[in-house]
Amino acid sequence: MSLDNSSRISDDLPQQVVAALRAVCGESSVALHAPRFKGNEWKYLRDSLDSTFVSSVGAYVDRFEADLAKYTGAKHAVAVVNGTAALHVALLLAGVQPGDEVLVPALTFVATANAVRYCDATPHFVDSNEATLGIDPDSLRDWLGRMTEQREGFCINRETGKIIRVLLPMHTFGHPCAMDALQAVASDFGLIVVEDAAESLGSWYGERHTGTIGRIGTLSFNGNKIITTGGGGAILTNDTALARRAKHLTTTAKLQHRWEYEHDEVGFNYRMPNLNAALGCAQLELMPEFLASKRRLYQRYREVFSGIAGLRLVGEPAHTQSNFWLQALLLDQVGAGQRDSILTATNDVGYMTRPAWRLLHQMMPYRNCPRASLAVAESLVQRLINIPSSADIA
Ligand SMILES: *Cc1c(COP(=O)(O)O)cnc(C)c1O
């Protein structure tokens, strides 16, 4: 070796990252992800107020559901109060029973596992793939092959004796995971697929929108997502009976009647209010603009980060179209170990960056859950850094 270039470069890696961010974001402080309201938001909100229908009945709820179904290509969309509630009901609709296990990536936001617990089921953590950041189909197949047996058509965890009912992949930062391979594993092991597409509105796996590939999918419209309704979520499905049941369960399981209050089971008050749906209709109109702007930002970041040794910018997996919701840097062997110095240097000068979530099996409520080897997720989480990603940066 002539010159030990790599170690010299990695010594000032944090300052190189700051300089690269400055080239794209400018001199002022930048949030990780700020919402943007520049379309018909005020108009539709005013309209909703003027109508006095601000709560769980109103024209905007129906319109938002129809718009979402049209945009995603799902046959049905049911709007709810948030993405976590959407996941809760999706899992109930998938037939998750108390005592069941649900396969969840260890690398996800805590809501994915919380929704499993709301069903009195247990998350069973599985590993991620370095290219997609989603569940790795090969290690999943291998794990299930060793850990489970089929009994009366059910996939049984041989160690716990519990039914593993559902596979719950999540499309990390908007990048679609390997759905064909995951669907194949699910079908071979008798699992139902529910997609946590909270982060991936506007992301396509081939020709199919994320969240429409499994039996049921869920979206989130929290303030930090690609579009926001303040708080909100939706359930997507192509199954008409499931959609009808989703609406029933999320609207207190009330039977239709002009004045009688009759409820045929314990339902939930999870319906999205009309005010939030009004915001959603306006935000959804802006999706093409948001997507173009986020892809532009990705390209700008690529230019400035491509010359820096020790890291790469996370791109979209092959045969997918990502919404690039949250941009991420992934440190390699040269850069590994510098994550926290980069987080400190960038936040010190006002560029908000943060690591990925703490892995779920390391958090208090989930320490004792069943889990596969999580070697890739454990490595990824040491090396991932989210950088400013708002739609108006580039
Ligand atoms: C945001 C998010 C959720 C939950 O959505 P809320 O609307 O905040 O309840 C669920 N899963 C993932 C992966 C998310 O990023």
Torsion angle of alpha carbons 234, 291, 17, 348, nearest 10°? -50
pLDDT greater than 80 at residue 58: yes
d(CA 26, CA 60): 38
Stated pTM of the model: 0.96
Q: How confident is the model at residue 55 (pLDDT cuts 50, 70, 90)?
A: confident
What per-residue confidence (pLDDT) applies to 11?
67
- Residue 71: inside a domain: yes
pLDDT in tens, 327-355: 999 999 878 899 999 999 999 999 999 99
- The verdict on 64 and 12 lying in the same domain is no
Mean pLDDT in residue range 73-86? 98
Return the pLDDT at 335.
80
Distance between CA atoms of residues 310 and 339, nearest Å? 11
Do 84 and 165 share a domain, yes or no? Answer: yes
Ligand 1 close to Cβ of residue 111 (< 6 A): yes
* Inside any domain, residue 61: yes
Query: Is residue 378, in this structure, part of any structural domain at all?
Result: yes
Q: In this structure, which amino acid lies at residue 273?
A: P
For residue 170 and ligand 1, the question of a CB distance below 6 A is answered with yes
pLDDT at 136 over 90: yes
165, 157 contact by CB (below 8 A):
no
In this structure, what token pair is assigned to residue 188?
């071979």
- In the structure encoding, which two tokens stand for residue 312, read together? 């790469």
Any idea what the CATH number is for the domain that residue 382 is in? 3.90.1150.10
Choose which residue among 171, 196, 279 to substitute to test ligand 1 binding: the one with the highest number of ligand atoms within 8 A of its C-beta: 196
Residue 247 has pLDDT above 80, yes or no: yes
Asked if the structure places residue 336 within a domain, the reply is yes
Q: What confidence tens digit (pLDDT) does each residue in 261-312 have?
A: 999 999 999 999 999 999 999 999 999 999 999 999 999 999 999 999 999 9
For residues 165-173, give the mean pLDDT: 98
**Closest ligand 1 atom to 170 CA:** 13
Domains in the chain, number: 2
Residues 373 and 126: their CA atoms lie apart, in Å, by: 7
State whether the beta carbon of 199 lies less than 6 angstroms from ligand 1. Answer: yes
The Cα 273–Cα 251 span in angstroms is: 11
pLDDT score of 365 more than 50:
yes
Quick one: pLDDT band at residue 54, thresholds 50, 70, 90? Answer: confident
Place of tokens 């470069």: 9
Mutate to test the pocket of ligand 1, among 91, 110, 112, 229 (most ligand atoms within 8 A of CB): 112
Minimum-distance ligand 1 atom for the alpha carbon of 222: 7
Please give the share of the chain, as a percent, with pLDDT higher than 90.
92
Look up the domain containing 258 and give its range.
41-285
Tell how far the Cα of 183 is from the centroid of ligand 1, in angstroms: 22
280 and 292 belong to one structural domain? no
pLDDT exceeds cutoff 70 at 6: no
pLDDT > 70? residue 51:
yes
181 and 97 within one domain: yes
Residues 134 and 27 in one domain: no
Instruction: Using CA atoms of 228, 214, 324, 322 in order, give the dihedral in degrees to the nearest 10.
Output: -140
Contacts of 166 (CB under 8 A, 6+ apart): 91, 94, 95, 96, 100, 102, 103, 191, 192, 193, 194
Domain co-membership, 277 together with 326: no
Segment 176-203 mean pLDDT: 98
Does residue 392 form part of some domain?
A: no
Are 239 and 189 in a shared domain? yes
One domain, residues 361 and 254: no
**Are 46 and 145 in a shared domain?**
yes
pLDDT at 57: 80
Of 285, 304, 339, the one marking the end of a domain is 285
Per-residue pLDDT reduced to its tens digit, 103-116: 999 999 999 999 99
Q: Collect contacts of 14-18 with beta carbons under 8 A, ≥24 apart.
A: 14/338, 14/341, 14/342, 14/344, 14/345, 14/346, 15/345, 16/308, 17/308, 17/311, 17/329, 17/342, 17/345, 17/346, 18/345, 18/346, 18/349, 18/351
Of the three residues 285, 305, 339, the one that is the final residue of a domain is: 285
pLDDT in tens, 17-47: 999 999 999 988 999 999 999 999 999 999 9
pLDDT above 50 for 219: yes
Contacts of 330 (CB under 8 A, 6+ apart): 311, 312, 313, 314, 380, 383, 384
For residue 240, how far is its CA from the centre of ligand 1 (angstroms)? 25
**Residue 281 sits in the same domain as residue 377:** no
> Is 393 part of a structural domain of the chain?
no
CB 210 within 8 A of CB 68: no
Q: Is residue 263 part of a domain?
A: yes
Residues 250 and 102 in one domain: yes
Comparison of pLDDT for 2 and 60, the residue scoring more: 60
Q: What is the CATH number of the domain that holds 146?
A: 3.40.640.10
CA of 10 to the centre of ligand 1 (A): 34
- Is there a domain that residue 394 lies in? no
- Give φ, ψ of 364 to 5 degrees: -45, -55
Task: Tell whether ligand 1 has an atom less than 6 A from the beta carbon of residue 198.
Answer: yes
Q: Do 247 and 371 belong to one domain?
A: no
Is any atom of ligand 1 closer than 6 Å to the C-beta of 220? yes
Give the pLDDT band of residue 392 (cuts 50, 70, 90). Answer: confident
Q: Please tell me the predicted confidence (pLDDT) of residue 9.
A: 52
The residue out of 235, 270, 285 marking a domain boundary is 285
